[in-house]
Structure 1
Amino acid sequence: MLNYFMALNDHNLPYPDTMHPIVVHFVIAMVLFAFCCDVVGYFTHKPRFFEVSWWNMLFATVAIFIAIIFGQLEAGLAEPYDSVVPVLNLHTLIGWSLSGIIAAITAWRYVIRSHNPEKVPLPYLGVGLLLSSLVFFQVYLGDLLVWVYGLHTVPVVEAMKQGVLR
């Protein structure tokens, strides 16, 4: 029974398909939407947007740790070949960094919300812009891993098993 449970499929995973991209897309959407809500709330002076932003950042903080767990598991099962290793390492480093950055920004947002839930300071928006830029770069690296290097795609997994890729 244990052998059946731990058997890897044609994607080199113990479950049907990659989970990391599914979870991480929630994080991406929540962080970017939170930033957009803060910008709209700042310019329209409507505090409802700040409330939406707060909850998006809070859930993004939780979701990024789930995404990292799946990302680490799937990176370990990917058996990366030589040319993909630098991109995978950078993607991993930025992913772990983003977890701390998002948690810190969410904590800052909590303090701002506690003092005045109807305003956000301009420096917070600047940090939100930097965070959004870092998220876009991380998305680019993730796209490279899947669409250029083909991690966990059937042809690349088969090539690795046959020893074609090194």
Structure 2
Amino acid sequence: MLEYLTSLNDHNLPYPDTIHPIVVHFVIAMVVFAFFCDLVGYFTGRTHLFEVSWWNMLVATVAIFVAIIFGQFEAGLAQPYDLAKSVLNLHTLVGWSLSGIIAAITAWRYVIRSRNPNKLPIHYMLVGLFLTLIVGLQVYLGDELVWVYGLHTVPVVEAVKEGILP
């Protein structure tokens, strides 16, 4: 078992496939769904959706740190070539920023929920929209790393190992 954990496979990982995208898609879905619930609850008066949104944000706050841990680990093993480095660095910066933003918004949401669980201020809704847009940017950057630059794909890993990609 130790041999399996210390050797890298053809994806340049010590485990079968990347874990970061699995966890991060969970975070993406929870943040977007939380904003959707807030939006529907705000405009329809279905305030029970605010509770759904709160729990989604709370779990997303914990999960984003798990996503970052695996993201940092897997980025370190990716051996990014020169063209991919700037996108990977931006993706990392936005990811760490998102962790702070999501934690702050969740803390703010806790205060709002404590004061009046049946009402959301318009400012919170605007911040939720802003958060959703930043998450969209982060999704774009992550997709670019996989689908354009091919990080952790077998052909790119082989090309880096053979010195074809600088």
Q: CA deviation at 1:5?
A: 2.6
How many angstroms apart in 2 are the aligned matches of 1:118 and 1:64?
A: 27
Q: What one-letter code is carried by the residue in structure 1 that aligns with 2:55? A: W
Q: Is the 8 A contact 2:4 2:15 kept in 1?
A: no
How many angstroms apart in 1 are the aligned matches of 2:66 and 2:142?
A: 16
**Length, aligned pairs only:** 166
Q: CA deviation at 1:6?
A: 0.5
**Residue in 2 aligned with 1:157?**
157
**Residue in 2 aligned with 1:127?**
127
**Residue in 2 aligned with 1:27?**
27
Q: CA deviation at 1:69?
A: 0.3
How many angstroms apart in 2 are the aligned matches of 1:66 and 1:16?
A: 18
The C-alpha deviation readout for 1:44-87, integer Å capped at 9, x for no partner, is 11111000000000000000000000000000000000010000
How many angstroms apart in 1 are the aligned matches of 2:132 and 2:112?
A: 19
**In the alignment, does 2:10 pair up with 1:5?**
no
How many angstroms apart in 2 are the aligned matches of 1:159 and 1:15?
A: 20
**Residue in 1 aligned with 2:78?**
78
How many angstroms apart in 1 are the aligned matches of 2:47 and 2:59?
A: 19
**In the alignment, does 2:58 pair up with 1:55?**
no
Q: What one-letter code is carried by the residue in structure 1 that aligns with 2:149? A: Y
**Residue in 2 aligned with 1:136?**
136
How many angstroms apart in 1 are the aligned matches of 2:148 and 2:5?
A: 30
Q: CA deviation at 1:2?
A: 4.3
Moved over 3 A (4+): 1-4
Gaps of 5+ in 2: none
How many angstroms apart in 1 are the aligned matches of 2:137 and 2:151?
A: 18
Matches within 5 A, 1:95-134: 95-134=95-134
Q: What one-letter code is carried by the residue in structure 1 that aligns with 2:104? A: A
**Residue in 2 aligned with 1:15?**
15
SS at match of 1:13: coil
Q: Tell me the TM-score normalised to structure 2 length.
A: 0.98
How many angstroms apart in 1 are the aligned matches of 2:118 and 2:9?
A: 51
Q: Tell me the TM-score normalised to structure 1 length.
A: 0.98
How many angstroms apart in 1 are the aligned matches of 2:162 and 2:76?
A: 19
**Residue in 1 aligned with 2:39?**
39
SS at match of 1:10: coil
How many angstroms apart in 1 are the aligned matches of 2:5 and 2:129?
A: 44
SS at match of 1:43: helix
* Sequence identity (%): 76
SS at match of 2:14: coil
